[in-house]
Amino acid sequence: MRAQLDFYFDFSSPYGYLASERVEALAQKHDLDLQWHAIALGFIFPLTGQQPVVNVPLMRDYFLHDVQRCARDNALAYHHPDVFPVGTVAACRTFYWLKQHHPALLIPFTHAVYRAYFTQGEPIASADDVASVAVRAGLQPDGLTQASQDPAVKAATKNAIDDAVARGVFGSPYFLIGDEPFWGNDRIEQIDRYLSEPA
Amino acid sequence: MRAQLDFYFDFSSPYGYLASERVEALAQKHDLDLQWHAIALGFIFPLTGQQPVVNVPLMRDYFLHDVQRCARDNALAYHHPDVFPVGTVAACRTFYWLKQHHPALLIPFTHAVYRAYFTQGEPIASADDVASVAVRAGLQPDGLTQASQDPAVKAATKNAIDDAVARGVFGSPYFLIGDEPFWGNDRIEQIDRYLSEPA
């Protein structure tokens, strides 16, 4: 049986965006069953007392520099959005609506939202923003604009985030291979080494 | 002129310990002028609102697992101390006293304190603890036990930490090459790549 790689990310997380562009190659290299899990850190940070790093003195400047440096290191486009961070509940709910109703669109949708926000600075905070991004990317299933108002989707989103927390997820990107956790885009090389070791 | 690598570390920082065992090879490889700077995060965390990660729900378990995993990855001995974290003001002051009076002992002292704490679980919080560790490591210059009470040393320590903060240092380990900052033991490979690039 193929091992599973669980990839947790927040749509407003720059390092999550970078990882989203790299995780498929990692999974392919090691023949892993890659599972994508959107989370909303707005629900998780209160549990840990964390706050967005741009609100933290001293760390803010480092972070803004480091994200762009890491994007260059990873040979990925990056433009820091003027409005940052943003709420990601609507994007998260749309993600879980797609997962249920149009699973084939899940990964294209994820890339579309991340790229719209982190390379074009397009808004992604509201349900309308998210639907617009999806439509411009050629993804327009019936019902998309109402997705985030669906009570079943709201419940599915909450359950997904609760499950993530129950597995110890506290940041983005976060990876689990079984019980082995890895936090951060800068750990992808470590995951690669971990998977390359004899079991 | 050789470029300078400024290495900032807190004696109670596990990742600082791991980096302390790797930074000399990095400096040697790239012919850098390595400068060691002890800091006391107890003075810096209040500026950023951070707290020791072992006090943070969810992050605690990840951290305890990750430190040991990174030590294995780096092929370094590690035993998580029973008493953790500890105050590092006394160790810091002794460091700056040595820097002024016995600079040749500075790096042996740093290794001795880190290894005593992170491989043997020996106490390093008080001035007496620090002096004992130094003596057991064969470092016993006259005046060592009184070092941390010297008003000039207290002032030098405070100045060193203020200087670190003024340069943006907020964690341990933290590296600066000119104005280029790197935070974390897991960034040593990135520093290596950065130094390997054509200028």
Q: Given an 8 Å threshold on Cβ–Cβ distance, is B168 in contact with A58?
A: yes
Q: Give the pLDDT score at A199.
A: 63
Angle between helices B89-101 and B151-166 (to 10 degrees): 100
Q: Give the pLDDT score at A183.
A: 97
Q: What is the mean pLDDT of residues B151-178?
A: 96
Question: Minimal Cα–Cα distance from A55 to chain B, Å?
Answer: 9
Cβ atoms of A119 and A78 closer than 8 Å: yes
**Per-residue confidence in pLDDT tens, chain A, 199 aa:** 789 999 999 999 999 999 999 999 999 999 999 999 999 999 999 888 888 888 888 899 999 999 999 999 999 999 999 999 999 999 999 999 999 999 999 999 999 999 999 999 999 999 999 999 999 999 988 888 888 889 999 999 999 999 999 999 999 999 999 999 999 999 999 999 999 987 6
Question: Where do runs of H (alpha helix) occur along chain B?
Answer: 14-20, 23-29, 41-48, 59-73, 89-101, 106-120, 127-136, 151-166, 188-196
Cβ atoms of A157 and A164 closer than 8 Å: no
Q: Give the pLDDT score at A1.
A: 79
Q: What is the mean pLDDT of chain B?
A: 94
- ipTM (interface predicted TM): 0.91
Q: What is the mean pLDDT of residues B116-136?
A: 96
Question: Minimal Cα–Cα distance from B126 to chain A, Å?
Answer: 29
Q: What is the mean pLDDT of residues B112-140?
A: 96
Tens digit of each residue's pLDDT (9 = 90 or more) over B42-94: 999 988 888 888 888 889 999 999 999 999 999 999 999 999 999 999 999 99
Ranges of each domain in chain A: 4-196
- Across the A/B interface, how many CB contacts are shorter than 8 Å? 59
Beta bridge partners of A101: none
A74 touches chain B (CB under 8 A): no
Q: Give the pLDDT score at A56.
A: 87
Q: Give the pLDDT score at B199.
A: 62
CA distance B106 to B101: 10
Q: Given an 8 Å threshold on Cβ–Cβ distance, is B187 in contact with A190?
A: no
B181 touches chain A (CB under 8 A): yes
pTM: 0.94
Is the previous residue joined to B103 through a cis bond, with omega within 30 degrees of 0?
no
Domain A4-196, CATH: 3.40.30.10
Burial class (CB in 10 A: 0-12, 13-18, 19+), B177: middle
B56 touches chain A (CB under 8 A): yes
Q: Give the pLDDT score at A77.
A: 98
Q: Give the pLDDT score at B183.
A: 97
Q: Give the pLDDT score at B193.
A: 92
Q: Given an 8 Å threshold on Cβ–Cβ distance, is A56 in contact with B66?
A: no
pLDDT above 90 for B146 = no
Q: Given an 8 Å threshold on Cβ–Cβ distance, is A58 in contact with B170?
A: yes
Q: Give the pLDDT score at B148.
A: 83
Across chain A, how many H-helices and E-strands are there? 9, 4
